[in-house]
């Protein structure tokens, strides 16, 4: 808890056996985090075996079939009752206490409506609009996400961040530099063919979410 604000952390994970243990071990060291929810999206590697070791300390949720990041986040939201929601990618190592504080404080102090965390050096405060980032590390108020939960369930596999960008495009946000973290690219995690195929699927999914948003805009 930070300044009487409950801190909930959601970690969606799919086939991240190389990084997931580092992520959850580091989060377990941060005392002010009230709840960590790890959502396994039907991983086919050893991810499930790794996270199951920590079932007594964290909330472990499992999808029987691969549903995508948005579905994982929406599923975790059902287990959260109040406070802030921090969403973290599971292929980034080096999360520290300061990183979570930096993501949460601007929201707690009402300086911004939400924050984004980047592994690259770039920090700014964006008043409104022009939000196109697909950054996965984010912090929101639960009261802002809950009304969107049913829609989040239906986002395309890689279109979750695009959906949030659309919903919060008129909200003030801040980009936070998470110094000391490392993001593993698909080329570092997979074989060349598997990495290329993963990027193709990601691009198709993002395009699908873009088309879905475009159609919705035309209807409304």
Single out the residue of 116, 123, 105, 106 nearest to residue 168, CA to CA.
116
Single out the residue of 176, 158, 179, 160 nearest to residue 168, CA to CA.
160
pLDDT tens track for 88-144: 999 888 899 999 999 999 999 999 999 999 887 665 555 444 444 678 899 999 999
Place of tokens 């929601």: 85
> Is the CATH number 3.90.550.10 carried by domain 7-184?
yes
Residue 78 DSSP code: T
pLDDT tens track for 34-52: 999 999 999 999 999 999 9
pTM of the full structure: 0.81
């Amino acid at each position: 808890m930070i300044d009487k604000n409950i801190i909930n952390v959601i970690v969606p994970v799919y086939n991240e056996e190389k990084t997931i243990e580092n992520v959850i071990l580091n989060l377990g060291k941060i005392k002010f985090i009230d709840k960590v929810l790890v959502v396994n999206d039907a991983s086919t590697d050893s991810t499930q075996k790794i996270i199951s070791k920590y079932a007594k300390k964290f909330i472990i949720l499992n999808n029987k079939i691969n549903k995508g990041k948005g579905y994982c986040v929406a599923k975790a939201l059902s287990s959260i009752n109040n406070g802030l929601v921090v969403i973290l990618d599971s292929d980034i190592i080096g999360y520290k206490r300061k990183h979570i504080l930096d993501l949460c404080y601007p929201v707690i102090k009402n300086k911004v409506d939400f924050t984004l965390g980047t592994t690259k050096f770039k920090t700014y405060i964006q008043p409104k609009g022009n939000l196109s980032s697909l950054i996965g590390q984010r912090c929101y108020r639960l009261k802002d996400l809950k009304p969107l939960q049913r829609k989040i369930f239906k986002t395309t596999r890689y279109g979750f961040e695009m959906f949030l960008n659309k919903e919060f495009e008129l909200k003030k946000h801040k980009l936070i530099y998470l110094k000391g973290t490392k993001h593993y690219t698909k080329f570092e995690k997979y074989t060349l063919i598997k990495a290329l195929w993963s990027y193709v699927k990601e691009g198709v999914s993002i395009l699908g979410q873009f088309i879905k948003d475009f159609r919705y805009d035309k209807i409304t």
